Structure 1
Amino acid sequence: MGNMIELTASDGHKFQTYATGDEKSLRGLVVVQEIFGVNRHMRAVSDRLASFGYRVLCPAVFDRAERGVELGYDQAGAQKGLALRARIDEADVMRDIEATVAKLSPRPTGIIGYCWGGTIAWWGATRSKSFKAAIGWYGGGIAATKEAQTHCPVQLHFGVKDKSIPLQDVEAIRKSHPDLPVYVYENAEHGFGCEDRPSFNAEANQLAEQRSLAFFAEHLV
């Protein structure tokens, strides 16, 4: 189990971050939240990844709009999460991400995100040069900047039945980055990696986790 620490971005903004894993770990991960905040699920994901030998930080990106946000996976939670996301500038998100990865320096560090965080992980690969590897799980905003140049190895995961991310978007990403590993899971919906969602798919989650861990083991050296 971890604890909340406070970090400061380059513009002076102070934000909470869930920190877990051995502080002496030689490798680091930045885990990026869904639109539901740094809730029980995101803390559990962070703890799970830390158990494989990482020092993990999960920044509360919503702190720029509202502090202490932990939303449920219902319509009200989704609506509030989307509203909060709309209030936060992408450049400010990256300031928080850069401050988080700086806290893990000089470890080789990767970034992994889910839902909105999957898109932010893509930004970590294309708008930052601080990461050794980046992984996005069902990031709906990736296709919008699919032509962006990547500065580190990237791995992406999507579900065939994800109603919010059309397969044509996934294919467009593949076309823009033919050498980038993009995995698509049959019978998997949006949020297939979250056990608190009705869309949780244990088989897809397990396989995507195995691929993610192998990817980080290869590149965080």
Structure 2
Amino acid sequence: MADPFSAAVDAQWVDIPMPGGSPRAMPAWWARPAAGERPRAAVLVLPEVFGVNGWVRSVADRLAAEGYAALAISTFWRTAPHLDVGYDEAGLAAGREHRDQVTTDQLLSDVAAAAAWLQAAHQGDGLAHKPLGCVGFCFGGHLALLAATLPVIAATADFYGARVSTFRPGGGSPSLELVPEIPGRLWCFCGDADPLMPAEELRAIEAALAAHPEAGHRLLIAPGAGHGYMCTARGDYHPAAAQEGWAALLELFASSL
């Protein structure tokens, strides 16, 4: 996929060192504003089950064009560090195979390592002591809710992160039960025509967020939108809902980071 923002940003693959003296590193796509421009803040991008593919990289590039430093991390780096599969049945099956091997503890460790890299390696950008944003899509949206429990994350956009009311990666009580532990703001996005997020799931999310009105959490439901509506490469892409979702994401980050 061509990157329409490549002229406005500096972007490249980087390797994120992992804690504990691990000989392996986590691949990530690193995008920042064009040379000479200081990022306004940094954002972590958590991909769908299809990996850090062209569309996910374009999200990071688009954030960089808005003035943010963005790091899209490979959440499947332990089993498929360079996963990049298509939006078809074969790609979905391959992605789900690796998705099912991710645990919550692994994800939190990965996000902490990415945050440490951002803050330590880019002190000259003014990122050393700034809180981070986080955005995730599909399974990455579910993981973004988990990442939101870390103190370093100040604002999280969870796009259609399914099964948060019934499941937690690696086992345990449903991820939605962690909402009281989130120190920052969590905005959950989904379409009202998403078959992976039925009405009972949306009610559970709404209730969990509403229980903490002081936190500034929100549930934003896009009329007529299905699963994956933000992604231009998916059959459920919904231009109007995607435009509104992107505007809300920028509002969240501008007011929180």
Place the TM-score, normalised by the shorter chain, in its bin. over 0.9
Residue 26 of structure 1 pairs with residue 40 of structure 2: yes
Shift of 1:26: 3.2
Q: Percent identity?
A: 26
Residue 162 of structure 1 contacts residue 189 of structure 1 at CA under 8 Å; is this kept in 2? yes
2:26 to 2, 9, 15: 15
Shift of 1:67: 2.3
Bigger shift: residues 10-19 or 77-86: 10-19
2:112 to 98, 116, 135: 98
2:96 to 73, 76, 82: 82
Bigger shift: residues 18-27 or 70-79: 18-27
Distance 1:4 1:145 in 2: 30
Distance 2:209 2:101 in 1: 30
Aligned to 1:48: 62
Residue 107 of structure 2 contacts residue 147 of structure 2 at CA under 8 Å; is this kept in 1? no
* Counterpart amino acid of residue 63 in structure 1: W
Bigger shift: residues 138-147 or 30-39: 138-147
Shift of 1:100: 0.9
Residue 163 of structure 2 contacts residue 201 of structure 2 at CA under 8 Å; is this kept in 1? no
Residue 206 of structure 1 pairs with residue 229 of structure 2: no
Residue 131 of structure 1 pairs with residue 140 of structure 2: no
Residue 26 of structure 1 contacts residue 108 of structure 1 at CA under 8 Å; is this kept in 2? no
CA RMSD of aligned residues (A): 1.3
Aligned to 2:208: 176
Shift of 1:157: 0.3
1:161 to 193, 198, 210: 193
Aligned to 2:124: none
Give the 5 Å matches for 1:102-121: 102-105=116-119, 106=128, 107-121=130-144
Q: Deviations over 1:61-95 (max 9, x none)?
A: 11111121101000110011000111222211221
Residue 8 of structure 1 contacts residue 15 of structure 1 at CA under 8 Å; is this kept in 2? yes
Distance 1:153 1:78 in 2: 30
Distance 2:254 2:81 in 1: 33
State the aligned residue count.
219
SS of residue in 2 equivalent to 1:5: strand
Bigger shift: residues 190-199 or 138-147: 138-147
Residue 65 of structure 1 contacts residue 88 of structure 1 at CA under 8 Å; is this kept in 2? no
Residue 4 of structure 1 pairs with residue 13 of structure 2: yes
Residue 141 of structure 1 pairs with residue 152 of structure 2: no
Q: Deviations over 1:87-128 (max 9, x none)?
A: 2222112211111122222233100100011011101112x1
Shift of 1:142: 2.3
TM-score, reference length from structure 1: 0.95
Aligned to 1:152: 184
Distance 1:87 1:214 in 2: 34
Distance 1:183 1:26 in 2: 25
SS of residue in 1 equivalent to 2:148: helix
SS of residue in 2 equivalent to 1:84: helix
SS of residue in 2 equivalent to 1:61: coil
TM-score, reference length from structure 2: 0.82
* Counterpart amino acid of residue 63 in structure 2: L
Give the 5 Å matches for 1:56-75: 56-75=70-89
Shift of 1:176: 1.7
- Greater Rg over alpha carbons, structure: 2
Distance 1:67 1:121 in 2: 19
